[in-house]
Amino acid sequence: MKAPKGFTFSGIHSGIKRKKLDLGLVVSEDFSDCVCFFTNNKVKASPIILNLNNLKISNSQVKAIIVNSGNANSFTGKQGLKDAQLINKELSKLLNIRPEFILSASTGIIGKRLPVGKILKNLNRLVAELSPDNFEKFSQAILTTDTQRKLFFKEAKVSGEKVRILGIAKGAGMIYPQLNKATMLGFIFTDVNIKRSLLIQACKEGVDLSFNSISVDGCRSTNDSVFVLTSKKSYSYIERKDKNFREFSLQLKEVMLSLAKSIVKDAEGATKFIEIEINSARTKEEARRAGLAITNSNLFKTAIYGENPNWGRIISALGQAQIPLKDNISIKYTSLKAKEIRLKIDLKRGKYSWRVYTSDLTPDYIKINSSYS
Amino acid sequence: MKAPKGFTFSGIHSGIKRKKLDLGLVVSEDFSDCVCFFTNNKVKASPIILNLNNLKISNSQVKAIIVNSGNANSFTGKQGLKDAQLINKELSKLLNIRPEFILSASTGIIGKRLPVGKILKNLNRLVAELSPDNFEKFSQAILTTDTQRKLFFKEAKVSGEKVRILGIAKGAGMIYPQLNKATMLGFIFTDVNIKRSLLIQACKEGVDLSFNSISVDGCRSTNDSVFVLTSKKSYSYIERKDKNFREFSLQLKEVMLSLAKSIVKDAEGATKFIEIEINSARTKEEARRAGLAITNSNLFKTAIYGENPNWGRIISALGQAQIPLKDNISIKYTSLKAKEIRLKIDLKRGKYSWRVYTSDLTPDYIKINSSYS
């Protein structure tokens, strides 16, 4: 695994958390072309508000992303926005660029002021440790209740050339992103050289099939963000929907899906990973809505924890989502005793399919979340 | 406590359940005027489909309601409907009326055929035990995972005359009714003599403020039903929106609210009862939507179980529901250590208020629901 050309990474401990790494930085050698997706929660964390503003000014050209864990800097008002701005400004001096070319992300508890002093004090060290090899440290610095780092790598062959795609994410709870409009953070770095409109299309399709198709607990964060950055350092240029585009899109989708699945597999307290395939729906949207309705049913999720095939709860969840059900609907499970379960539902209404991913609801989820603060 | 004039009740054990009472019957001496509310789940249980049909034919005139617990007769197809019809038909012979004047309700597991034989064999005994005093037995026969019967009684003074209102309900899990469009069953019997349009108005307002303002687990049943029956045996007639109407409406609302709260207090595995008052909303609808968004947040509900004032989760839930939040929003809790908790949220947006009711999410909820079948 090698980082895509044109990126350096670092991850350090700044003291927001007691012991673990809590501050990460990615710097693009030249400007990267960026496609971003943020939460559709009406409450948006300070870094997201700042990013939306910066992306307009920079025309989506990005030089760096700074990320902290341990504090969401969300619902922190004007002070929160000032704090995020101050960090950007100080970092921009060290990197010798304008602050608008820096994006930021925060994750952790909502409603508490970001410990800005700790971050500012450590910016020098954060920059000093930048290296193409430090992506693993970066991937650790962004974690919260995650039990493992989430990092996936693929290569796409574009006109014989190997284009690299590196995906990094965090997330374990408050997971029901609808990005578009994502509580999870996802970072995808690539060196593909591609026309912007095509990159946007590939990213949108990828995000819909991955991050927008998972739910741990039906709760949507104020901080969900997915950043796709390309340094465009590859030689071959993708400018139309050809074989190269399809190959790159496929590999991008694979990285996004691996990240999204890894979030669900690391879901707080979960003992099962469940893939739900909805077939024969009238539309793709119906298939996805049917799938997500099941992923958000506490009763379905507790039944799976109990290895109990209570399919009446699936029927009830589909009906609650106003999906018209036929008597000949088919519901098939693989073994409920396994750690990974596949559920196939055939709605017998049309020809469209969608896959969604979820976890079981367990006493450990409640233990983790009844004391989290 | 005395049953409203004109009703007799019975509750027996027919063998659907191993030991507990599982079959109940109410019979109206003359015809009762009936206002019904059923689930807005797209999948509707067989008794609901049959009721909707019967109510049209009978012009909402009702002679009897038969109720079984232990089986929901839901998603049981044409067989399920035939089963419900057969029971109605046999009962109609015993009561010497047409089957269209009988309503029915079922509660229990979804997707299994109703044990019709057991019910038919016991119809004679069910009718033989009818008595004005057996409402308590009826209230027991309709329970499933409930730990206690739910029965409330009020009197309304109408022109000096005492009009009786008796409310009976069941429900503990799969509770997020939106009736209008209710998994719970609610029965309200009264002898009020009232113009039908006024009865409908009083019932709608009552249902909105009570059953439509509770959530245990955000899961909506295929069997939710609320039946309001009046024998009209009282002498005084309510025909306009006067003092008498307001007094009756108030007492009806009190009975409905007591029933709805008792369902939440008996929520599966719950250790806390939470009343959420949303104030200063732009509209009533906004206040209600804000409240229900919080009642359906697993993260909020686990925090309450942990007696943890993680108000960031309230903010996040409100934002997910697309409620625009001001920085000066106020959130006040009574002691989180108490069994009953009041939460007051001031949105500072307008002048409308709404109250909703929910329970905490606990390891016991998962225990109960991982093995229920």
pLDDT digits 0-9 by tens, B179-194: 544 457 888 888 888 9
CB contact under 8 A, A109 and B325: no
Does residue A1 form part of some domain?
no
A181, A298, A304: best to mutate for the B interface, most B CBs within 10 A? A298
Question: Which residues make Cβ contacts (< 8 Å) with residue B352, sequence separation at least 6?
Answer: B280, B281, B282, B283, B284, B286, B287
Q: Is the pLDDT of residue A175 over 70?
A: no
Both tokens assigned to B177: 């009714």
Say yes or no: A315 and A184 in one domain: no
Dihedral of alpha carbons B110, B113, B118, B124, sign: positive
Q: Which residue in A265, A360, A292 sits closest to B370, CA to CA?
A: A360
Name the domain boundary from B204, B237, B265.
B265
**Better-scored residue on pLDDT, A75 or A276:** A276
Does residue A237 form part of some domain?
yes
Say yes or no: A256 and A203 in one domain: yes
pLDDT digits (tens, 9 = 90+) for A3-23: 999 999 999 999 999 999 999
State the Cα–Cα distance between residues B24 and B237, nearest whole angstrom: 31
Question: Which residues make Cβ contacts (< 8 Å) with residue B280, sequence separation at least 6?
Answer: B346, B347, B348, B349, B350, B351, B352, B353
| pLDDT of res. A243 | 92
| pLDDT of res. B180 | 47
B145, B364, B369, B372: best to mutate for the A interface, most A CBs within 10 A? B369
CB contact under 8 A, B306 and A220: no
Is residue A245 within 8 Å of residue A198, measured between CB atoms? yes
| pLDDT of res. A135 | 95
CB contact under 8 A, B319 and A222: yes
Chain B residues within an 8 Å CB radius of A323 = 42
B179, B298, B362, B371: best to mutate for the A interface, most A CBs within 10 A? B298
Q: Where is A199: in which H helix or E strand?
A: helix A196-209
- One-letter amino acid identity for A132? P
Does residue B1 form part of some domain?
no
Chain A residues within an 8 Å CB radius of B321 = 42
Give the residue carrying structure tokens 């993708």: A238
pLDDT digits (tens, 9 = 90+) for B312-333: 889 988 988 889 888 899 999 9
Q: Stretch A30-49: mean pLDDT, rounded? A: 87
Does residue B91 form part of some domain?
yes
Say yes or no: A19 and A146 in one domain: yes
Please give the DSSP secondary-structure letter assigned to residue A218. Answer: S
Say yes or no: A66 and A102 in one domain: yes
Structural domain tally of chain B? 2
Does residue B2 form part of some domain?
no
Is residue B357 within 8 Å of residue B214, measured between CB atoms? yes
Please give the DSSP secondary-structure letter assigned to residue A71. Answer: B
Say yes or no: A180 and A291 in one domain: no
Is residue A225 within 8 Å of residue A105, measured between CB atoms? yes
| pLDDT of res. A181 | 40
DSSP assignments along A111-167, one per residue? SS---HHHHHHTHHHHHHT-BTTTHHHHHHHT-SS-SS-EEEEEEEEETTEEEEEEE
Is residue B163 within 8 Å of residue B235, measured between CB atoms? no
Chain A CA closest to residue B173: A299
Q: Which residue in B154, B308, B25 sits closest to A369, CA to CA?
A: B308
Helices and strands per DSSP (H, E), number in chain B: 11, 15
Chain A residues within an 8 Å CB radius of B313 = 110, 219
Name the domain boundary from A263, A290, A317.
A263
Say yes or no: B94 and B135 in one domain: yes
Does residue A322 form part of some domain?
yes
Q: Is the pLDDT of residue A350 over 80?
A: yes
User: Distances from the Cα of A327 to the Cαs of A77, A279, A313, B79, B81, in angstroms?
Assistant: 52, 15, 15, 11, 13
| pLDDT of res. B84 | 97
Question: What is the band of A118 on the pLDDT scale with cuts at 50, 70, 90?
Answer: very high
Say yes or no: A288 and A248 in one domain: no
A38, A174, A366: best to mutate for the B interface, most B CBs within 10 A? A366
Question: Which residues make Cβ contacts (< 8 Å) with residue B132, sequence separation at least 6?
Answer: B2, B3, B7, B8, B9
Q: Stretch A311-332: mean pLDDT, rounded? A: 89
Chain A CA closest to residue B110: A312
pLDDT digits (tens, 9 = 90+) for A201-222: 888 888 888 888 788 777 777 7
CB contact under 8 A, B217 and A299: yes
Chain B residues within an 8 Å CB radius of A306 = 369-371
| pLDDT of res. A352 | 96
For the domain that residue A105 is a member of, what is the CATH number?
Answer: 3.60.70.12
Instruction: Classify strands B102-107 and B61-69 as parallel, antiparallel or unpaired.
Output: parallel
Per-residue pLDDT of chain B (373 residues; tens, 9 = 90+): 889 999 999 999 999 999 999 999 999 999 998 888 888 778 888 999 999 999 999 999 999 999 999 999 988 889 999 999 999 999 999 999 999 999 999 988 888 999 999 999 999 999 999 999 999 999 999 988 788 888 889 999 988 889 999 988 888 766 666 654 445 788 888 888 898 888 888 888 888 888 887 877 777 777 788 888 898 988 889 999 999 999 999 999 998 898 889 888 888 889 999 999 999 999 999 999 999 999 989 989 999 999 988 888 899 889 888 898 888 999 999 999 999 999 999 999 999 999 999 999 999 988 888 876 5
Chain A residues within an 8 Å CB radius of B178 = none
CB contact under 8 A, A308 and B372: yes
Q: Stretch A345-353: mean pLDDT, rounded? A: 96
Residue of A303, A319, A369 lying closest to B370 (CB–CB): A303
DSSP assignments along B75-143, one per residue? S-HHHHHHHHHHHHHHHHHHHTS-GGGEEEEEES-SSS---HHHHHHTHHHHHHT-BTTTHHHHHHHT-
| pLDDT of res. A273 | 94
| pLDDT of res. B340 | 96
Q: Give A107→chain B minimum CA distance, Å.
A: 12
| pLDDT of res. B41 | 79
Active site residues of B: 183
Say yes or no: B248 and B320 in one domain: no
Q: Is the pLDDT of residue A182 over 80?
A: no
Say yes or no: A234 and A298 in one domain: no
- One-letter amino acid identity for A220? R
Say yes or no: A133 and A16 in one domain: yes
CB contact under 8 A, A219 and B361: no
Say yes or no: B15 and B164 in one domain: yes
| pLDDT of res. A180 | 47
Q: Give A110→chain B minimum CA distance, Å.
A: 5
Reported pTM: 0.79
| pLDDT of res. A21 | 96
Name the domain boundary from A229, A263, A297.
A263
Q: Which domain holds residue B365?
A: 273-371
Question: Which is the catalytic residue, given A39, A107, A145, A183?
Answer: A183
How many interchain CB pairs under 8 A, A with B?
A: 170
Does residue B140 form part of some domain?
yes
| pLDDT of res. A177 | 66
Both tokens assigned to B149: 């019967």
CB contact under 8 A, A298 and B110: no
Is residue B37 within 8 Å of residue B225, measured between CB atoms? yes
CB contact under 8 A, B372 and A310: yes
Say yes or no: B144 and B70 in one domain: yes
Residue of A299, A366, A373 lying closest to B305 (CB–CB): A366
Q: Where is B249: in which H helix or E strand?
A: helix B243-265
Q: Give B361→chain A minimum CA distance, Å.
A: 7
ipTM for this model: 0.74
Q: Give A214→chain B minimum CA distance, Å.
A: 16
| pLDDT of res. B17 | 92
For the domain that residue B330 is a member of, what is the CATH number?
Answer: 3.10.20.340
Chain A residues within an 8 Å CB radius of B326 = none
